[in-house]
Amino acid sequence: MLTAWLFHALTSVPGVQGRELAACWPVRCLAVSRKRETMPNNVDGVTPNNSESHSLALTPEVLPLAPTPEIQRRELADLGPGEPPWLFLQVSRAGKRTLEFFVTQIPNDHTRRAYYGAVRRFSAWCSAHRLEELGRVEPVHVAAWLKALEAEGCSRPTVKQHLAAVRMLFDWLVVGQIVPYNPAHAVRGPKHVVKKGKTPVLTQDEARELLERIDTSTFLGLRDRALIAMMIYTFGRVGAVIKMRIEDYYTQGRRGWVRLHEKGGKRHEMPCNHNLEAYLDEYIKTAGISDDLKGYLFRTAQSKSGALTGNPLAQSNVYRMIRRRAMQTGIKTRIGNHTFRATGITQYLRNGGRRELAQQMAAHESPRTTALYDRRDDEVAVDEVERILI
């Protein structure tokens, strides 16, 4: 999808540059076509019969099938409002290099979308200050842009992310001999030190009550209980959990194992807790999906019959389901998808687990990242403040 809307932006450059860019674009056999696919859009991941969403697919057609301006605006709007980064598209060679950066250098969709938004924001700031030539950008301009972001109320992590996006793009342009040097390289971002994560966690009693209060008389209840338990007992990210196939739950040594495909291409395997194994077995057996090994494990359901479809749950569906289940249980903490990863790690460490093993189970590269999920000190702080007797 990125290739389609970014190609739209590049080919819509005013003047001859856009046509030159289309002629020199390396993937000359790609064109844009429309396709329809059914997507879930409600709290339970239930798919209404009349729900349709449109996305772009690349098909091996001829390149001269240029999209209309209406399609350009519609597809660029998928990443949010705003103009394309014209600063990097005015010259065909720079536009081609910018396209290669987003398509070939950033494999993660979420990172690509965030970096594109940052680059577009920098381009808009330069345009507002009459800085419309790429070669005129200097470190002082990048520093002034960061100050403007802070003045707008952006948090320090957001400012650092924006700087990283612009710095990486300019590095790519320098390697491609588009600009002589990287103006963002000498600019220092705001200092931001994190010693404790902000993800809210549940207590042991809250997590147990949340699982026990789910009505398991329906497919949705069994699915939701198994999904939440999967994130708690495996420390899995929601993005990896919803991508699981039936074959990713298997038996080895008389014990159930799960296979998670985490971000960064990591393939992570670990045994199941006995509770998780029981939840998964009951869900798969009741749903009758054990033979569909290539099918998704956690699926959406039809609105009328409640039968499971072949479509995977989206992260937004999981978040709304979690919020609804928490309200039904009476949990006032504003939890989210990542809460269960932090809850699982904290409870593991609280019950005598070692941090280096928690790092391995969570597939963290650094022990410092695992330490951010260790919230055992929160309980100590609560006990201590009760000593203030007045």
Residue 340's domain spans which residues?
Answer: 204-385
**Enclosing H/E stretch for 260:** strand 255-262
Q: How many CB atoms lie under 10 A from the CB of residue 114?
A: 18
Residue 233, pLDDT > 90, answer yes
Query: Residue 19 domain-assigned?
Result: yes
Whole-model pTM above 0.85? no
Sequence-separated (6 or more) residues with CB below 8 Å from residue 150: 156, 159, 190
Range of lowest pLDDT (66-70, 91-95, 294-298, 366-370): 66-70
Residue 133, pLDDT > 80, answer yes
Query: Residue 341 domain-assigned?
Result: yes
Please check whether residues 226 and 129 belong to one and the same domain.
no
Residue 376, pLDDT > 90, answer no
Query: Residue 42 domain-assigned?
Result: yes
DSSP 187-217: PPPPP---SS-------HHHHHHHHHTS-TT
| Domain tally, the chain | 2
Which of these three, 175, 190, 214, is where a domain ends? 175
CATH classification of the domain holding 232: 1.10.443.10
Please check whether residues 257 and 377 belong to one and the same domain.
yes
Between these two residues, 281 and 355, which has the higher pLDDT value?
281
Please check whether residues 220 and 147 belong to one and the same domain.
no
What tokens were used for 141?
């301009």
Please check whether residues 51 and 162 belong to one and the same domain.
yes
Query: Residue 199 domain-assigned?
Result: no
Please check whether residues 281 and 358 belong to one and the same domain.
yes
Query: Residue 197 domain-assigned?
Result: no
Please check whether residues 220 and 358 belong to one and the same domain.
yes
Q: Which of 36-50, 72-86, 228-242 has the highest mean pLDDT?
A: 228-242
DSSP class of residue 245?
B
Question: Looking at residue 266, what is its pLDDT?
Answer: 81
Please check whether residues 232 and 120 belong to one and the same domain.
no
Q: Which amino acid is at 302?
A: Q
Please check whether residues 261 and 129 belong to one and the same domain.
no
Query: Residue 210 domain-assigned?
Result: yes
User: What is the Cα–Cα distance from 262 to 137, expressed in whole angstroms?
Assistant: 38
Q: What is the pLDDT of residues 175-225, one digit of tens each?
A: 999 999 999 999 998 887 767 778 888 999 999 999 999 999 989 999 999
Query: Residue 9 domain-assigned?
Result: yes
